[in-house]
Amino acid sequence: MSGRELGFAVIATVATACGDVAAPRDVQCGAQPVEVLPNGSFDLSTPPWVQAPVTPAILCGMPRIMPFDGTQAGCLGGVDGTIQTLTQSIPLPAGARTLTLTGQICIATAETMRVDHDILEIDVMDGDSVVAALGKPTNQQGAANCQFTPLQLTAAATSDPVAATLRIRSTLDASMPTSFYIDGLSLKVGCTL
């Protein structure tokens, strides 16, 4: 083998040895969708839900509301002209194609007009980019009295970063507030369409 051939062989060996240097993912795709949200009941201290703003608290329980599951629920909105956000980091498997969020939601509203004045956006984010826009429940799905009802939202993934963020954000207009209560969440990722 000439020196030049030996050099190419070494380069090829090094390139092959390096191969895929990405660290293995925390979750892997399988035949069935995989759960990626570890604290969907809001009751555990870890992993934490990040609240913005921190006050007033966006996690609540009795006496404000009787959670659907456990002692706490996500409690957004309720104050006119505010934006509130709950986020939690989640792992994504390589090849993520669809994301499905299920759980319970209660929308208590003072709005009387059949217009989307108060909105709850639920997205999976990679930094500032939306990986999957799961849905936007609004005051139009609400009632004066709070009753939890099943929630199911599905969206296609536009990418599959190693880690992403589930973002739940309420945006209220300047009058007639709406409160969004969510609990018992599950976020499953599928790798086939």
pLDDT digits (tens, 9 = 90+) for 18-66: 444 466 788 888 889 999 999 999 999 899 999 999 988 899 999 889 9
184, 41 contact by CB (below 8 A): yes
pLDDT given for residue 2 in this prediction: 53
| Number of residues written out for the chain | 193
The residue among 177, 150, 170, 163 whose CA lies nearest residue 76 is: 170
Does the domain formed by 26-190 have CATH 2.60.120.260?
A: yes
pLDDT at residue 14 greater than cutoff 90: no
Secondary structure (DSSP) of 117-156 = -SEEEEEEEETTEEEEEEE--BGGG-BSS---EEEEEEEE
Q: For the chain, give the percent of residues with pLDDT over 90.
A: 73
With bands split at pLDDT 50, 70 and 90, how would you rate the model's confidence at 135? Answer: very high
Backbone conformation region of residue 19, classed left if phi is above 0, alpha if psi is from -120 to 50, else beta: left
pLDDT given for residue 155 in this prediction: 97
Task: Specify the amino acid at residue 1.
Answer: M
CA 168 to CA 173: how far, in whole Å?
A: 17
Tens digit of pLDDT for each residue in 88-115?
999 999 999 999 999 999 999 998 888 9
pTM score, whole prediction: 0.85
